[in-house]
Amino acid sequence: MDSKWHEFDQKPGACLRWEKVKGGFSSARWTFELRAADQQEIASVRGWPYVGPMTACTGGKTFTWNRTGNDRPARPAPPVIADLVKGWGQDPRKIRELIDDTGTPILYVSGESFNGQAGIRIAFPDRRWLRFLIRGTGCQDALMTAIDQAGNKAARFRVTRVTRLNQLLAGAEIAVHPDRTLTDELALAIAISPASIHHFFLKPGGGG
C-alpha cells in the first residue's frame, strides 16, 4: 500500500470525515454526511453524486442538481463557465449545476471519471475551479487530491471504507489545506467529490 496513504494523518489542516449513514435499494435513498473532527455535521448529501437525483445541505440551505444544455430542465450554462469547460475539452451541454432554492448555482460539475481517467472538474461562478487527481490500486487504498486553478492543493481524501458488494465508497477522511476557509461552496464540493473515486476505478462492462 502506498506510504502516502499511511502518512495521511500527519498532514496539517482541518480533518473531516465523510460517511454513508443511510442506504437502500435505490441510490436516491443513500445519505452521506460530512462531519468535523468533533462529529458536528457540516454538510449532507442524499443520492449518489453525478448520477440521478441528488440534494445536498449545508449552512441550513438545501441545494439540488440541475442539468444545463440539452438535458432537462434545459438552460444554457453561463458563458464564462461554458468557456472554461470548452477549454478543458469537455462538452458544455453536459454541465451539472448545484442550485439553491432560488435557482442560483453555487457550483458547476463537468466531465467524468472512468476507467483510470480522472476528468471531473468543479467550477464556481467566479471562475475558480478544482480538479481531482486520483491514485491507488483500487477504492480500498485510493488517495485523491483536489487541486485549484493555480495548481495549489485544496484538500486530500483517503478512502477508509467500501462496501463488499460493489466497492462503493462508504467512508473517507479529508484533510483540508490549512490555508483554506471551509466555505459552504467548498464544503459542498468536498461532500460530493468522493463519488468520483468510485467511478475512476470502474472498467468498461461494469467491472471495478
Q: What is the DSSP secondary structure assignment for residue 169, as one 8-state letter?
A: E
Helical spans, DSSP H, in the chain: 3-6, 79-87, 184-192, 195-200
Reported pTM? 0.89
Contact 184, 199 (CB under 8 A): no
Tens digit of each residue's pLDDT, the chain (208 residues): 455 545 555 556 689 999 999 987 777 789 999 999 899 999 999 999 887 789 999 999 999 998 765 444 457 889 999 999 999 999 998 899 999 999 999 999 999 999 999 999 999 999 999 999 999 999 888 999 999 999 999 999 999 999 877 678 899 999 999 899 999 999 999 999 999 999 999 988 765 5
Q: Of 26, 24, 42, 23, which is closest to residue 185 (Cα–Cα)?
A: 42
